[in-house]
Amino acid sequence: MKLNQQNLYRLAPEVALPAYTLSDIRQGIAHIGVGGFHRAHQAYYTDALMNTGEGLDWAICGIGLRREDRRARDDLQEQDYLFTLFELGDSGETEVRVVGAIRDMLLAEDSAQALIDKLASPEIRIVSLTITEGGYCIDDSNGEFMAHLPQIQHDLANPAAPLTVFGFLCAALAKRRAAGTPAFTLMSCDNLPHNGAVTRKALLAFAALRGDDLQEWIEHHVSFPNAMVDRITPMTSIEHRLQLADKHGVDDAWPVVCEPFAQWVLEDKFVSGRPAWEKVGVQFTDDVTPYEDMKIKLLNGSHLALTYLGFLKGYRFVNETMNDPLLVRYMRAYMDLDVTPQLSPVPGIELTAYKNTLVTRFSNQAIADQLERVCSDGSSKFPKFIVPTINRLIADGRDTKRAALVVAAWALYLKGVDENGDTYAIADPRAAFCQALVLDDALMAQRLLGVEEIFGTVIPRSPEFVAAFEWCCDSLREVGVSRTLEWVLV
């Protein structure tokens, strides 16, 4: 059955449907960067609230700034912006649910002005973002906004025809200010530390470069809540679409596949109201920092510790790595010995239980999360997920070999050939630059670790870490992943 509004009530009985009438809901959120994670997370929670009869004025208008977003918009538009949330898990406690929280999607390619007008309209009280870690144009080596980027310079020269998220946001906020329309809350849902503070810093830096007084107005009127977001959401494959059709009879051009687990911890800092997401499981807090540190260092850091080694060994799915006892032992050692001592107490969470949950989630055989997805954009992920842990290990004078192995595995992964001789493409916007750093084995440590925007200044100046990195690289080249793990775990 093709998914659309006309066929909605003809779907199989096990498919959960919206409990609200689509024509009764009104847009209150504009979301920039509609992808799998947004639909499995923020749209999922918003839909859950609407199913209780509340929050019907918080529907979402999607916004696409990239050329690739047209396919997503077209697929959603053809099925009346409905999509299927298809949970996959080993326990059987999963849900198949049609989500109707997204009601429209605008593309910058079609009309920059229409997009600015939407962001400036009084009905939009929250603008949310999933634009990836690298989308904030912050230099990780010094924390400064990268004003020199060509697209940023274009937007400064052409404020009425922007290309970037910052150009559109400032154009819309300037229009709101001129019209006397209250500001919106700008809410990042990207997976990076202090995402609200990063968003604020980037937007204010861009606004200052415009040369008017918009920066000061934004400082006083826009809020930027920090958030910790968590749900494993693989890329939707043709196999997923066929599985949904075969098992549940739903023909969905772009379903979203995810694990049953979901978590969202959010600072309650909203200037123009918000949905009552706490009624459907969102945890509001005054300070998200301990939750961020736990999730980013344990989950995201451990993901990277597993995935590059797994990819080198020839695995292509996260669950395959978790079927390898050596990799599981290594991940637990990294979490228990290297990360956990660095974490502050997390209100309401027992860390041993949380780590056990991660093992279960990573082991999910049904979801078959792609290593390619987790390995992607390593040059943006390392500064946020791994480098802070290494810096603390160095400062505390602790053993760095397990952490050095994560970096060494990435270095050899960048060569594009696994242990079996199979070649693969590197999914990273800076792939060519990063691959050039690892061409010469003799100079690899100097060149790779010397990239300040990725590894900072502490790591390359630590003789102990550099020696551990070089040992790990040599071992991976000479004896492979399994033997290296055996030596590291002694």
Instruction: Indicate the number of domains in the chain.
Output: 2
Q: Report the share of the chain in percent with pLDDT over 90.
A: 97
pTM: 0.94
Q: For residue 222, what are its two tokens?
A: 């826009």
Domain boundary among the residues 231, 251, 285 is at: 285
Residues 305 and 359 in one domain: yes
* Letter string b/e over residues 417-443, b meaning 16 or more CB atoms within 10 A of that residue's CB: ebeeeeeeebebebbeebeebbeeeee
In angstroms, rounded to a whole number, what is the distance separating the alpha carbons of residues 436 and 456? 19
Amino acid at position 290, single letter: P
In angstroms, rounded to a whole number, what is the distance separating the alpha carbons of residues 212 and 206? 11
Label residue 91 by pLDDT band (50, 70, 90). Answer: confident
CA neighbor of 268 nearest in space, from 225, 297, 229, 238: 225
165-185: average pLDDT:
98
Does residue 66 sit within a domain? yes
Label residue 134 by pLDDT band (50, 70, 90). Answer: confident
Q: For residue 85, what are its two tokens?
A: 């949330």
CATH number, domain of 336, equals: 1.10.1040.10
Residues 273 and 297 in one domain: no
Does residue 123 sit within a domain? yes
In angstroms, rounded to a whole number, what is the distance separating the alpha carbons of residues 28 and 458? 45
Residues 268 and 417 in one domain: no
Residues 244 and 299 in one domain: no
265-276: average pLDDT:
98
In angstroms, rounded to a whole number, what is the distance separating the alpha carbons of residues 467 and 394? 13
Label residue 422 by pLDDT band (50, 70, 90). Answer: very high
Domain boundary among the residues 221, 256, 285 is at: 285
Question: What count of Cα atoms within 13 Å lies in the side-chain half-sphere of residue 280?
Answer: 19
Residues 357 and 301 in one domain: yes
Does residue 93 sit within a domain? yes
The residue with tokens 């809020």 is 223
Residues 408 and 446 in one domain: yes
Torsion of CA 10, 11, 14, 18, to 10 degrees: -90
Q: Residue 479: how many CB atoms within 10 A of its CB?
A: 12
Does residue 263 sit within a domain? yes
pLDDT recorded at residue 174: 97
> HEC profile for the chain?
CECCCCCHHHCCCCCECCCCCHHHCCEEEEEECCCHHHHHCHHHHHHHHHCCCCCCCCEEEEEECCCCHHHHHHHHHHCCCCEEEEECCCCCCCCEEEECCEEEEEECCCCHHHHHHHHHCCCCCEEEECCCHHHHCEECCCCEECCCCHHHHHHHHCCCCCCCHHHHHHHHHHHHHHHCCCCCEEEECCCCCCHHHHHHHHHHHHHHHCCCCHHHHHHHHCECCCEEEECCCCCCCHHHHHHHHHHHCCECCCCEEECCCCEEEEECCCCCCCCCHHHHCCEEECCCHHHHHHHHHHHHHHHHHHHHHHHHHCCCEHHHHHCCHHHHHHHHHHHHHHHHHHCCCCCCCCHHHHHHHHHHHHCCCCCCCEHHHHHCCHHHHHHHHCHHHHHHHHHCCCCCHHHHHHHHHHHHHCCCECCCCCECCCCCCCHHHHHHHCCCHHHHHHHHHCCHHHHCCCHHHCHHHHHHHHHHHHHHHHHHHHHHHHHHCC
Question: What count of Cα atoms within 13 Å lies in the side-chain half-sphere of residue 153?
Answer: 4
Q: Residue 153: how many CB atoms within 10 A of its CB?
A: 12
CB 186 within 8 A of CB 272: no
397-425: average pLDDT:
98
Residues 315 and 456 in one domain: yes
In angstroms, rounded to a whole number, what is the distance separating the alpha carbons of residues 83 and 78? 11
49-58: average pLDDT:
98
Does residue 1 sit within a domain? no
pLDDT recorded at residue 368: 87
pLDDT recorded at residue 211: 83
384: alpha, beta or left? (left if phi > 0; alpha if psi -120 to 50): alpha
Between vectors from CA 321 to CA 319 and to CA 324, what angle results, nearest 5°?
115
Q: Is 407 exposed, middle or buried (0-12, 13-18, 19+ CB in 10 A)?
A: buried
Does residue 3 sit within a domain? no
Label residue 142 by pLDDT band (50, 70, 90). Answer: confident
CB 100 within 8 A of CB 81: yes
Residues 341 and 210 in one domain: no
Does residue 2 sit within a domain? no
Domain boundary among the residues 234, 268, 285 is at: 285
φ/ψ of residue 122, rounded to 5: -60, -25
- Write down the mean pLDDT value for the chain: 96
φ/ψ of residue 370, rounded to 5: -80, 130
91-100: average pLDDT:
93
Which residues form the domain of 467?
Answer: 289-488
Does residue 392 sit within a domain? yes
Is the pLDDT at 58 greater than 90, yes or no? Answer: yes
421-429: average pLDDT:
96
Task: Return the bridge partners of 467, or none.
Answer: none
Tens of pLDDT along 295-349? 999 999 999 999 999 999 999 999 999 999 999 999 999 999 999 999 999 999 9
280-288: average pLDDT:
96
φ/ψ of residue 486, rounded to 5: -60, -40
Q: For residue 338, what are its two tokens?
A: 């290297």
30-44: average pLDDT:
98
More confident residue, 73 or 139: 73
- Of 133-142, 196-205, 430-439, 450-459, the poorest mean pLDDT is in 133-142
47-57: average pLDDT:
98
Label residue 165 by pLDDT band (50, 70, 90). Answer: very high
Residues 442 and 374 in one domain: yes
CA neighbor of 325 nearest in space, from 297, 306, 340: 306
How long is the chain?
490
Residues 305 and 186 in one domain: no
Residues 82 and 177 in one domain: yes
Residue 394: CB partners within 8 Å, gap ≥ 6? 400, 458, 459, 462, 464, 465
Residues 275 and 296 in one domain: no
CATH number, domain of 52, equals: 3.40.50.720
In angstroms, rounded to a whole number, what is the distance separating the alpha carbons of residues 295 and 411? 24
Q: For residue 297, what are its two tokens?
A: 């260092």
Q: Residue 53: how many CB atoms within 10 A of its CB?
A: 9
